A and B are shown apart, each in its own frame.
Chain A
Amino acid sequence: MVPIEPTIVNKIILAILNGVVWALIIALVALGLTLIFGLMDIVNIAHGDFYMLGAVLAWYGVALFNNFWLGAVMAMIFTAILGAVVERSIIRPVEGLPAFTVVVTIGLSYIIQQSVLATFGGSPQTVPEPIRLTIEFLGIRYPAYRLFVAGVSGLALIALGVFLFKTPYGLWIRASMQDKEIASAMGINVSNVYIMTFSLGAMLSALGGALAAPITQVFYLMGLDVLAISFIIVIIGGLGSLKGTLIAAFIISLLENFITLVATPTEARVISLLIMGAVLLIRPKGLFST
């Protein structure tokens, strides 16, 4: 076998692949965020912590049962339940007061972070890739797990699309996003739609975190970075716009991966921030707002 010398073309292909994988993961997180905002006007600060919980539980899956997949499923079930409980117990009482929902979710974020710090510990951990295969193509070697992650995230996004656009539940969510009063006049139980959506959003975020765990480091504050990038995406795509969020996730993720070829990740992030600033000046409500 000829040893592979990475050329600029190889690097670009790698950046595209990584960009797409991250775009799909981040899209899961950001879509949950924008869904919750679009429906309930809630800026969920703890959303990044659901992502972190996903990664942490995946780690526990490996550490306790030597089974990553079990951890990932556990993460989704656990956060879905947690999301529902949180919505009912602490978000419901401050519904309709946007500033207060931010405060409540900051508080929640602290509690989740500290609970993880107390049990999981404060030092970053790694999760081994559950598929230890590398695939060679186009002159590069690429971990099969990452391609698998892209596949699973893509399927999850399609499933979300089917759920939102082809099932009655999805219709309820979209109808309530349009107009709560009309929705409840039509007989939709808006209160249940809220719980379902919050729970769904938390679960998507945790799925993203679990899938990302073997690619990145698991750390109790890892949610903050994801929260930042998700917010940038949501602002660029248009707050509450599902299509915009999806497209912006690809734009920003690919862009950051390209820039990282010639600069540091922080510099890439600064450029994302500048792009967000430009979007705010030109199209204040996001690129895909109506």
Chain B
Amino acid sequence: MKNRLILYVLVLVILFSLGFTLPTDMRSLSIDIFIFAIYAMAYDILYGYTGQFSYGQAVFFGVAAYGLLLPVLHTNTNLWVSLTIALVITVVFGIVLGFLAVRLGGAYFVIITIIFNLTFYLIALDWIWLTGGDDGLTFRAPKIEFGVFSLSLYDPVVTYYFMLSFLLASYLILKRLISSPIGKVLIAIRENEERAQLIGYNVFRYKLLAYVVSALFTGLSGALYSLRTRYASADYFNIALSVQPIIWTLVGGAGTLTGPIVGVILINPLIYYIGVWWKHYLSIIGALMIFVVIYSPKGIVGNLINKIEKS
């Protein structure tokens, strides 16, 4: 318990001090990692904790990215209002899509989430008047306003702390969620759905809840990403973006909340640096996915920890 507290403080101090010490490109990479870490945790709630294997989370990433961009672009709303709009829209989409996908579960769930994703991507490419299609839309990032104070997201150091604070807040909220009775029921559903129902839990409602919470935080990640890039395009709905959280979760270990973050930290720089010298890096990702599920299904990180503990 005490060790854990020390660890938390240490991690916080490191994260905080890296904000003004990191070189520009590393800082930039860190900001991406913070944003995607929220996405990774959101996926863990859905798959790692509740056992719902989605292959279409990019829908919420994209919906929220545009949910933030469009109000700013067209009506010049301030940051907090735009962010709220983005998240509310995402939750509405989460409820509607979840209502269709969650009920059947299993293979149906996987297939339906893929269909959603591919269709949304098609729409985003096609409805250029709304999305800008493949070229996308750019916008001016609104200022961060707290009463009289205001900060600019054009300052990378500000962006660093801004994104970091969203990551920490998301972590605390989701950590609390999984330590609450709700979290235990979600795990129970993953373990044995039938039994959970037989002792009186409304399995559908809990699974839908997990789906919507996951959509919400995926959306947060998407909205923040569009804010960071000051841009969104149809590519924010790309199915490849739905594969990412699967990889993070597999590498880091499902059902651990922090594991998938480790996955982001390991995988994203890897993709970044391999992508620079080999444009077919996706085939390495493909091979990695096959390798991990066959040889190390508990996640590379999870397995390493197991081995260290045993030795």
CB distance from A133 to the nearest CB of B (A): 33
Residue B110 contacts which of A43, A264, A285 (CB distance < 8 angstroms)? Answer: A43
Given A98-B106, A269-B122, answer yes or no on A107-B288 (Cβ-Cβ < 8 Å): yes
Tell me which residues across on chain A come within 8 A of B239, comparing CB atoms.
224
Near B by CB (< 8 A), chain A positions 250-290 give: 264, 266, 269-270, 273, 276-277, 280-281, 284-285
Tell me which residues across on chain A come within 8 A of B58, comparing CB atoms.
none
Tell me which residues across on chain A come within 8 A of B115, comparing CB atoms.
228, 231-232, 235, 273, 276
Asked if B282 and A106 make an inter-chain contact with CB atoms under 8 angstroms apart, the answer reads: no
Question: A231-256 vs B: 1/0 string, CB under 8 Å?
Answer: 11011000100000000000000000
Asked if A104 and B293 make an inter-chain contact with CB atoms under 8 angstroms apart, the answer reads: yes
Tell me which residues across on chain B come within 8 A of A43, comparing CB atoms.
107, 110-111
A165 at interface (Cβ–Cβ under 8 A)?
no
Residue A107 contacts which of B280, B287, B297 (CB distance < 8 angstroms)? Answer: B287
Inter-chain CA distance A33–B129, complex, in Å, is: 35
Tell me which residues across on chain B come within 8 A of A234, comparing CB atoms.
111
B43 at interface (Cβ–Cβ under 8 A)?
no
Inter-chain CA distance A109–B114, complex, in Å, is: 14
Inter-chain CA distance A117–B283, complex, in Å, is: 10
Tell me which residues across on chain B come within 8 A of A228, comparing CB atoms.
114-115, 118-119, 122
Tell me which residues across on chain A come within 8 A of B282, comparing CB atoms.
110, 113-114
CB distance from B223 to the nearest CB of A (A): 24
CB distance from A239 to the nearest CB of B (A): 6
Asked if B280 and A117 make an inter-chain contact with CB atoms under 8 angstroms apart, the answer reads: yes
A93 at interface (Cβ–Cβ under 8 A)?
yes
* Size class of the contact patch on chain B: 35 or more
Inter-chain CA distance A113–B292, complex, in Å, is: 20
Asked if A235 and B283 make an inter-chain contact with CB atoms under 8 angstroms apart, the answer reads: no
B154 at interface (Cβ–Cβ under 8 A)?
no
Question: B283-311 vs A: 1/0 string, CB under 8 Å?
Answer: 10111111011100100000000000000
Inter-chain CA distance A264–B129, complex, in Å, is: 14
A227 at interface (Cβ–Cβ under 8 A)?
yes
A45 at interface (Cβ–Cβ under 8 A)?
yes
Tell me which residues across on chain B come within 8 A of A117, comparing CB atoms.
280
CB distance from A24 to the nearest CB of B (A): 22
Asked if B107 and A103 make an inter-chain contact with CB atoms under 8 angstroms apart, the answer reads: no
Given A113-B282, A118-B280, A269-B119, answer yes or no on A102-B110 (Cβ-Cβ < 8 Å): yes
Near B by CB (< 8 A), chain A positions 183-219 give: none
Tell me which residues across on chain A come within 8 A of B288, comparing CB atoms.
107
B205 at interface (Cβ–Cβ under 8 A)?
no
Asked if B119 and A103 make an inter-chain contact with CB atoms under 8 angstroms apart, the answer reads: no
Asked if B122 and A104 make an inter-chain contact with CB atoms under 8 angstroms apart, the answer reads: no
B112 at interface (Cβ–Cβ under 8 A)?
yes
A sample of 9 cross-chain residue pairs with beta-carbon separation below 8 angstroms, ordered by A number, consists of: A45-B114, A98-B110, A99-B47, A106-B286, A110-B243, A118-B280, A239-B108, A277-B100, A285-B104
B positions within 8 Å CB-CB of A: 47, 53, 55, 100, 103-104, 106-108, 110-112, 114-116, 118-119, 122-123, 125-127, 239, 243, 246, 250, 280, 282-283, 285-290, 292-294, 297
Task: List 11 other contacts, CB 8 Å, given A98-B110, A276-B112.
Answer: A98-B106, A103-B246, A106-B55, A107-B286, A111-B287, A114-B283, A228-B114, A232-B115, A264-B126, A280-B112, A284-B104
Closest CB pairs A-B (n = 8): A110-B286, A107-B289, A114-B283, A228-B118, A266-B126, A107-B286, A107-B290, A99-B53
